[in-house]
Structure 1
């Protein structure tokens, strides 16, 4: 049974948990029975990084047709780069990427202040840059539904953490980028881990229920999945 914040409860034969690693590390979900120590230790020993985006939409393009525009700063703290979405989508949009401690500090600013800072960086490269007509700022580090952006290995920690977090507990299965051994920290890692969790959950239910109708549904799903390919995007 799963009980949500508003008091509603949902009963099922199995469940798949795909919340971000930051939420698990913050212990915002109460498990009954409690998670075993080996699972708790794996969650604790894996790092959570932060990377935020400030998307700027302009009325016209004034930058070269390249994929990336980099900024070299006196220290690594304020180094960043712009993704040129115009090259991929045709829309006059640049996305500034900020990671690490710098990403957390940007979250303390208002949307307007964050956009103004990014524009000051952009004008160092293009003094005649026009002002954006629209902007959007992410705050993955303080968003209560994420509390971070991606998982990463901490120095000196065991090498099997992703496998341990992914390991099911009875009828509870785990998905998300933090359980992907080969593609952690990425959207396609989250996608592939979700597919794996769903398949493991299906096998569990088929073994338990032995329902021929479910077998037919799984077969149909596999035909659909076979023709689908996830977008290869680095991070949210």
Structure 2
């Protein structure tokens, strides 16, 4: 996608009350509703809540649930794996590589095997994206941006010795970013694939969504999107059961609200 996911996000966000820089720290659930607290102490009341934060955030327990989530839910969070795949985006003043989708690095150890994604083929921009994963990605996150770019450039020169230095760069750090703490979920060795479904199943009026709750498409945008739709529909039905006609409600957020609509918690 030439402009990334921003056009998709902007389209889906139209008409929605979105609060940025509101990192959630606490979710209290009661039969009558939920109370959500953010870092600055502000609270929001709602009938239900959809939790769509990355699996790494759930694993880190930076959000406290009161009462605690059931053991089967905590086990699903603990037993699903979360991995890291970062991007080191290199912008060059000219294209000097072949017109292929990928440029691969083959080595005698998995630590040094990685690849470059050719964005020029899809976008027309002279950009290559180095994609380190696993332990290599974790180690690169310990480097400065400059050192990480130099490492990526050295990998590129193994493929194309005449490569010229990048003029701009951008380095992601999904593993240490407090809003992600990882990139994608994965099936840990010896664990059941139904952990994804167990993570998706609601707990009373707390619903869960995200790629780590998708049985069919884990680790993908379409997995995150489809489970978000499922959670929204399940949440809508719960509100309908309580109040009847949903369109009679006026969206309200706040402690003093008598009637509230669901909240969606995610890390944008």
TM over 0.5: yes
Do 1:206 and 1:214's aligned partners in 2 also have CA atoms closer than 8 Å? Answer: no
| Deviation, structure 1 residue 213 | 2.1
Q: Distance in 2 between matches of 1:51 and 1:124?
A: 21
For the Cα contact (< 8 Å) 1:178–1:185, is it kept in 2? yes
1:78 correspondence with 2:112: yes
Q: Is 2:181 the partner of 1:181?
A: no
Distance in 1 between the 2:164 and 2:106 partners?
Answer: 21
Show the counterpart of 1:165. 199
Which of 105, 112, 122 aligns to 1:88? It is: 122
Per-residue displacement from partner, 1:109-128 (whole Å, max 9, x unpaired)? 00010001111111112122
Match of 1:20 among 54, 64, 69: 54
Corresponding residue for residue 146 of structure 1 = 180
The alpha-carbon deviation at position 59 of structure 1 amounts to 1.1
TM-score between the two structures when normalised by the length of structure 2: 0.78
Q: What SS is found at the alignment partner of 2:87?
A: strand
Do the aligned residues in 1 keep the contact of 2:239 with 2:246 (CA within 8 Å)? Answer: no
SS of equivalent residue, structure 1 residue 11? strand
Equivalent-residue separation in structure 2 for 1:157 and 1:212 (angstroms): 40
Which stretches of structure 1, 4 residues or more, deviate above 6 A after TM superposition?
none
On the 8 A contact 2:174/2:180 being kept in 1, the answer is yes
**Range 205-214 or range 121-130, more displaced:** 205-214
CA distance in 2, matches of 1:105, 1:155: 22
Q: Are residues 1:111 and 2:131 paired?
A: no
Name the SS for the 1:60 alignment partner: coil
1:155 equivalenced with 2:189 (yes/no):
yes
- Structure 1 residue runs without a partner (length 5+): 216-236
Task: State the distance in 2 between where 1:214 and 1:159 align.
Answer: 41
Equivalent residue for 1:195, pick from 214, 229, 234 = 229
Work out which of the residue numbers 156, 159, 162 in structure 2 matches 1:122: 156
Match of 2:80 in 1: 46
Extract unaligned runs of 5+ from structure 2.
1-34, 250-268
Partner residue, 2:166: 132
TM-align CA RMSD: 1.3
Q: Report the structure, 1 or 2, having the larger helix content.
A: 1
Deviations 1:71-129 (A, max 9, x none): 11231111110000111111111000011111100000000100011111111121221
User: Matched residues in 1 for 2:77 and 2:65: separation?
Assistant: 14
- 1:229 is aligned to none
- Tell me the number of residue pairs that the alignment of Structure 1 and Structure 2 aligns: 215
Whole-angstrom CA distance in 1 between matches of 2:115 and 2:192: 32
After superposition, the C-alpha distances for 1:140-196 in whole angstroms (9 at most, x for unaligned) are 111111111111111222332111110011111000100000010112211111111
Secondary structure of 2:66 counterpart: coil
Corresponding residue SS for 1:143: coil
